[in-house]
Amino acid sequence: MARTAAKHPAVKRTEAPKRTRLLIATRKGLWTLTTDGARRTWKLAGPQFLGNIVHHAMLDPRDGKTLLVAARTGHLGPTVFRSTDNGRTWKEAVTPPAFDAGSGRVVDHTFWLTPGHASQPGVWFAGTSPQGLFRSDDGGANWKGVAGFNAHPQRKAWCGGDQDGTPDGPKLHSILVDPRDAAHMYISMSSGGTFESNDGGADWHPLNQGVRADFQPNPDLEYGHDPHCVRFAAGNPDRLYMQNHCGLFRLDRPATRWTDIGTGMPKAVGYVGFPMVPHPHDPNSAWIFPMDGTDVWPRISPGGKPAAYRTRDGGKTWKRQADGMPKSQAWWTVKRQAMTVDRFPVAGVYFGTTSGEVWGTRDEGRSWKCLAAHLPHIYAIESV
């Protein structure tokens, strides 16, 4: 469908923010790294929620002060913590995301948090493991399942069983709300594929043409794919970038067939990875962080040599960016939510590793520096 560009905020290079704060969600709690406009020195603070498995932490850009944290512990059930004063004080959600009683389904953890449309203050969406979509209308205090997805007659066919999927549990992630139209949304699932709704989540349809599913007997499927991360291009919600289990893809709406953009990657590195991070201002530019998806899927940097790759031409070509990173014997990788960008005119890019290090660049990847070390396994980083 056509959505007018006039509704969409103009793409422009913003002025440099006065500071950047990274929300670092880890297997053992939440930390923050803060810097000023120069981005030369960083201050680490935390932990909050020590001992909690924090899968995601997100700031509400609509008010600049509401923070949500998706957490659970090894023993206790999943919940959401919320702050309305930028993290100084916290309260637990009154009704955390949970499937309907009698459905037989149980939320293991809330995995993904997305603030709703700018015109709908207080609305948030959450994606869970196993795959479920939830909505809050009161800033994260109370959550209800989105019946249009959770009770969709095709949901089980799309997703498979609740025990299927990734080693850490099947997930619903990459909840994208079109900034021009609150009713237009995308979700992605590992596994399940990418789906679109044009009616605020009342109904969904698969959107996976052209995406490979090499792990299926019939690789040309309507659904059942494994997108790892899907994001809007900067300033252009008609362009989506996808890091998939089976490659890299781009979709330019209104087309419905994804384009393979992984062919420009070196064969020795491959096109497998978790994060997909578009540039904050340039719709043709994005970063990925490849991992080893060969053999038994070690899920580490290929050859122990970590590197980001950047495209400036919509995925036709990719350039290795590793200056400052270890040149060998570095066996970590980066999870799908653990790489982000800030909003500076010359973008900073940040990632957190499975070994608890935070790395960053303030020159769009030309040089990288370790900003923090010795943290727990990092699940997610958001720049706010």
Partner 1 sequence: MNHRVAIPSPLRSYCAGAATVTVACAGDSPSLRDVLAALESDYPGIRFRMLDEQGHLRPHIKVFVAADVERDLAVRVPPGADIMIVAALSGG
Question: Alpha-carbon dihedral of residues 72, 77, 82, 88, nearest 10 degrees?
Answer: -50
One of 77, 219, 266, 345 touching partner 1 (CB under 8 A): 77
Instruction: Evaluate the CA torsion angle 209, 56, 204, 255 in order and state its sign.
Output: negative
When asked if residue 106 is in the footprint of partner 1 (CB under 8 A), the reply is yes
Query: Residue 315 in contact with residue 250, Cβ under 8 Å?
Result: yes
Contacts 24+ apart (CB under 8 A), 291-297: 291/333, 291/334, 292/333, 293/245, 294/270
Contacts 24+ apart (CB under 8 A), 199-203: 199/148, 201/133, 201/135, 201/146, 201/148, 201/149, 202/148, 203/148, 203/152
Which residue's CB is nearer to partner 1, number 305 or number 377? 377
When asked if residue 151 is in the footprint of partner 1 (CB under 8 A), the reply is no
Tokens representing 327 are 């040149």
**Least separation in angstroms between CB 122 and partner 1:** 21
**Least separation in angstroms between CB 356 and partner 1:** 18
When asked if residue 64 is in the footprint of partner 1 (CB under 8 A), the reply is no
When asked if residue 147 is in the footprint of partner 1 (CB under 8 A), the reply is no
CA dist., res. 3 & res. 102, Å (int): 40
CA dist., res. 306 & res. 299, Å (int): 12
Which residue's CB is nearer to partner 1, number 9 or number 77? 77
Map residues 17-56 to x or -, x wherever contact with partner 1 holds by CB under 8 A.
----------------------------------------
Map residues 80-99 to x or -, x wherever contact with partner 1 holds by CB under 8 A.
------------x-x-x-xx
Size of the site for partner 1 (CB under 8 A): 19
CA dist., res. 208 & res. 222, Å (int): 6
When asked if residue 167 is in the footprint of partner 1 (CB under 8 A), the reply is no
When asked if residue 79 is in the footprint of partner 1 (CB under 8 A), the reply is yes
Instruction: Tell me which stretch binds partner 1 (CB under 8 A): 37-45, 69-77, 149-157, 345-353.
Output: 69-77
Element holding 157 (H helix, E strand): helix 155-159
Instruction: Tell me which stretch binds partner 1 (CB under 8 A): 25-33, 71-79, 238-246, 284-292.
Output: 71-79
Which residue's CB is nearer to partner 1, number 109 or number 225? 109
SS3 49: coil
**Least separation in angstroms between CB 57 and partner 1:** 19
Instruction: Tell me which stretch binds partner 1 (CB under 8 A): 39-47, 67-75, 194-202, 238-246.
Output: 67-75
Which residue's CB is nearer to partner 1, number 103 or number 119? 103
Instruction: Tell me which stretch binds partner 1 (CB under 8 A): 8-16, 70-78, 163-171, 270-278.
Output: 70-78
Please give the span between the terminal C-alpha atoms of the chain, in angstroms, as a whole number. Answer: 32
One of 15, 63, 73, 256 touching partner 1 (CB under 8 A): 73
**Least separation in angstroms between CB 147 and partner 1:** 15
Rg (CA), the chain: 19
**Residue 311 contacts by C-beta under 8 Å, 6 or more apart in sequence?**
261, 264, 284, 285, 286, 317, 318, 319
Which residue's CB is nearer to partner 1, number 71 or number 288? 71
When asked if residue 76 is in the footprint of partner 1 (CB under 8 A), the reply is yes
One of 18, 75, 88, 374 touching partner 1 (CB under 8 A): 75
Query: Residue 288 in contact with residue 275, Cβ under 8 Å?
Result: yes
Query: Residue 193 in contact with residue 153, Cβ under 8 Å?
Result: no
Footprint on residues 253-312 left by partner 1 (CB under 8 A): none
One of 14, 103, 119, 294 touching partner 1 (CB under 8 A): 103
Q: How many CB atoms lie within 10 A of CB 263?
A: 14
List residues binding partner 1 (CB under 8 A): 73-77, 79, 92, 94, 96, 98-107
